[in-house]
Amino acid sequence: MISNESAPKQRPSGALFARSLLGGTLMGLANLVPGISGGTMLLASGVYRDFITAIAEVSTLHFRRRSLLVLATVVCAALGGILLFAGPVKDLVVNHRWVMYSLFIGLTLGGIPVVWRLARTPSRALWGGAVAGFVGMSLLALAQGAGATAGSGGHDGMVLLFLAGLAGASAMILPGVSGGYLLLVMGQYVPILSAIDAVKHALGSGQAMAAVEPALSVLLPVAIGVVSGVVGVSNLLRWFFTRFEKATLGVLLGLLAGAVVGLWPFQHPVAPVPGQTVIKGRLVTAENLAEFPIENFPTSPFRPTVGEVGGAVGLILLGAAATLTVARLGREDPEPPS
pLDDT tens track for 221-231? 888 888 887 77
pLDDT for the residue 153: 46
Number of structural domains found in the chain: 1
Instruction: Please check whether residue 47 is in contact with residue 175, taking contact to mean a CB–CB distance below 8 angstroms.
Output: no
- Residue 45 domain-assigned (yes or no): yes
For 243, residues 6+ apart whose C-beta sits below 8 A from its C-beta are none
- Under the banding of pLDDT at 50, 70 and 90, the label for residue 90 is confident
Averaged over 246-263, what is the pLDDT? 81
- Residue 289 domain-assigned (yes or no): no
Q: What percent of the chain has pLDDT over 70?
A: 78
pLDDT for the residue 338: 45
Could you please report the per-residue DSSP string of 152-215?
A: -SHHHHHHHHHHHHHHHHHHHHSTT--HHHHHHHTT-HHHHHHHHHHHHHHHHTT-GGGGHHHI
Which domain range does residue 182 map to? 9-266+303-329
pLDDT for the residue 316: 93
Instruction: Please check whether residue 236 is in contact with residue 273, taking contact to mean a CB–CB distance below 8 angstroms.
Output: no
Instruction: Please check whether residue 183 is in contact with residue 192, taking contact to mean a CB–CB distance below 8 angstroms.
Output: yes
- Residue 155 domain-assigned (yes or no): yes
- Residue 74 domain-assigned (yes or no): yes
- Residue 95 domain-assigned (yes or no): yes
pLDDT for the residue 280: 62
Neighbours of 264 (CB within 10 A): 15
pLDDT for the residue 162: 84
Average pLDDT, the chain: 77
Q: Of 319 and 1, which is predicted with more confidence?
A: 319
- Residue 291 domain-assigned (yes or no): no
Highest mean pLDDT of the ranges 72-81, 116-125, 211-220, 275-284:
72-81
- Under the banding of pLDDT at 50, 70 and 90, the label for residue 215 is confident
- Residue 293 domain-assigned (yes or no): no
Name the packing angle between helices 38-45 and 306-329 (round to 10°).
40
- Under the banding of pLDDT at 50, 70 and 90, the label for residue 239 is confident
Q: What is the pLDDT of residues 142-156, one digit of tens each?
A: 665 554 444 444 455
Is residue 45 predicted with pLDDT exceeding 70? Answer: yes
> Among candidates 74, 43, 5, 64, which has minimal Cα distance to 337?
43
- Residue 279 domain-assigned (yes or no): no
> Among candidates 256, 250, 262, which has minimal Cα distance to 132?
250
pLDDT for the residue 70: 87
Q: Of 10 and 269, which is predicted with more confidence?
A: 269
pLDDT for the residue 148: 42
